[in-house]
């Protein structure tokens, strides 16, 4: 289902108005639940979850597979709320935990239908938005919000495996600590934009080249380090202890992303140490913002603490 982009909201009222007037508006019961989720901490979260799920439960008899009801509008609304409201991140986590516990619909929400698929496609990103991107700072913050949300959900993995998002951490750290596309000097995918027959008045090749090179600039770490920091803060010890396959690790990435890790695939304590050493290196990258350098140092310190048995 292709969705039009909903703007960021500055207030709960604005958010709810955007939802109500969207061409794919969530049903009234769901909007009512989100109004409480965003504004009323006195309402039990279990009641909010029940109300949000009620239109989905009511429609289960019409579903082709009642064990896998269409939850698209629920996850989409939640995803957009996570985008806009950094300060409510913990409530969004609690909301999903309570959804998962609902007995309604013969416990159909125990497996959080479509949740992981939706977050993979629309929520989890490791994107550096270039200088001409509208609402660039808000998009970077929304990305951090999503990593915080997924990392916090992973502290509830004992409730149900579907809540555990920790496998997303592997690519987060590879993208932050291993990929170094800025070291490449030739980018065929950028050169493809050039056509000697183009009229400079119609297509500014130098401007296009420079914009595309922004996407592979080392400054991308200003967006990636804050995302990785969320996983260290909430599940760093688990990440250190992980072994085995890592989701999203493919051979084709070597030529395109120039990874610095040359050891074995998968999770390992040795790889965790390598990541920590890369964070230490980032503290001395002059191109990065001072705030980013400081955060990289905090990440390195946290990882060293974990390696020494703490964390």
Q: Is the pTM of this model over 0.75?
A: yes
Are 272 and 240 in contact by the 8 Å Cβ rule? The answer is yes
Of residues 234, 213, 87, 219, the one with CA closest to residue 156:
234
Query: Encoding tokens for residue 295?
Result: 């955060």
206, pLDDT greater than 60: yes
Mean pLDDT, range 106-129, rounded to an integer: 92
Range picked from 153-157, 162-166, 188-192, 226-230 for highest mean pLDDT: 226-230
Q: Which residues contact 40 (CB under 8 A, 6 or more apart)?
A: none
Average pLDDT value for residue range 138-160: 91
- Residues whose CB falls within 8 Å of the CB of residue 279, separated by 6 or more in sequence, listed in order: 177, 225, 296, 297, 299, 300, 303
Is 173 within 8 Å of 232 (Cβ atoms)?
Answer: no
First to last CA, the chain: 42
Q: For residues 13-43, b (16+ Cβ closer than 10 Å) or e, as one string?
A: eebbebbeebeeebbebbbbbbbbbbeeeee
How is the chain split into domains, by residue range? 12-123, 168-307
Q: Average pLDDT, stretch 253-263?
A: 91
Does position 253 have pLDDT exceeding 60, yes or no?
A: yes
Inter-residue contact 278 to 193 (CB < 8 Å)? no
Position 156 scores a pLDDT of 85
6 pLDDT higher than 90: no
Of 299, 250, 256, residue with least CA distance to 277: 299
> Looking at the predicted structure, is the pLDDT value of residue 2 above 90?
no
Can you spell out the DSSP letters for 94-135?
HHHHHHHH--HHHHGGGG-TTHHHHIIIII-------TTSTT
Write down the H helix ranges in the chain: 12-20, 28-39, 45-58, 72-84, 89-101, 104-107, 115-118, 136-153, 167-177, 188-191, 205-214, 221-241, 253-257, 269-282, 290-307
List, for residues 171-183, the tens digit of each pLDDT value.
Answer: 999 999 999 999 9
d(CA 311, CA 303): 8
């Amino acid at each position: 289902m292709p969705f039009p982009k909903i703007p960021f909201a500055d207030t709960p009222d604005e958010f709810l108005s955007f939802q109500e007037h969207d061409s794919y508006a969530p049903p009234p019961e769901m909007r009512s639940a989100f109004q409480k989720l965003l504004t009323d901490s006195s309402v039990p979260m279990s009641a909010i979850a029940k109300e949000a799920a009620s239109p989905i439960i009511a429609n289960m008899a019409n579903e082709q597979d009642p064990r896998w009801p269409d939850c698209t509008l629920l996850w989409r609304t939640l995803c957009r709320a996570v985008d806009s409201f950094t300060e409510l991140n913990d409530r969004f986590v609690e909301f999903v935990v309570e959804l998962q516990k609902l007995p309604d619909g013969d416990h159909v929400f125990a497996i959080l239908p479509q949740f992981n698929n939706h977050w993979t496609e629309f929520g989890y990103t490791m994107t550096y938005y270039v200088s001409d991107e509208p609402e660039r700072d808000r998009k970077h913050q929304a990305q951090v919000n999503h990593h915080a949300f997924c990392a916090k959900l992973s502290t509830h993995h004992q409730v149900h495996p579907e809540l555990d998002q920790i496998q997303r951490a592997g690519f987060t750290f590879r993208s932050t600590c291993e990929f170094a596309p800025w070291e490449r000097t030739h980018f065929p995918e950028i050169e493809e934009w050039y056509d000697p027959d183009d009229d400079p008045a119609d297509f500014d090749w130098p401007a296009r080249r420079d914009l595309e090179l922004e996407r592979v600039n080392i400054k991308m770490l200003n967006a990636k380090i804050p995302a990785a920091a969320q996983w260290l803060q909430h599940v760093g010890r688990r990440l250190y202890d992980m072994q085995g396959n890592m989701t999203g690790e493919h051979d084709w990435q070597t030529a395109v992303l120039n990874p610095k890790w040359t050891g074995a695939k998968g999770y390992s304590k040795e790889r965790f140490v390598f990541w920590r050493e890369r964070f230490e290196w980032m503290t001395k990258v002059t191109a990065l913002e001072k705030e980013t350098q400081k955060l990289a140092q905090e990440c390195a310190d946290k990882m060293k603490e974990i390696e020494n048995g703490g964390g």
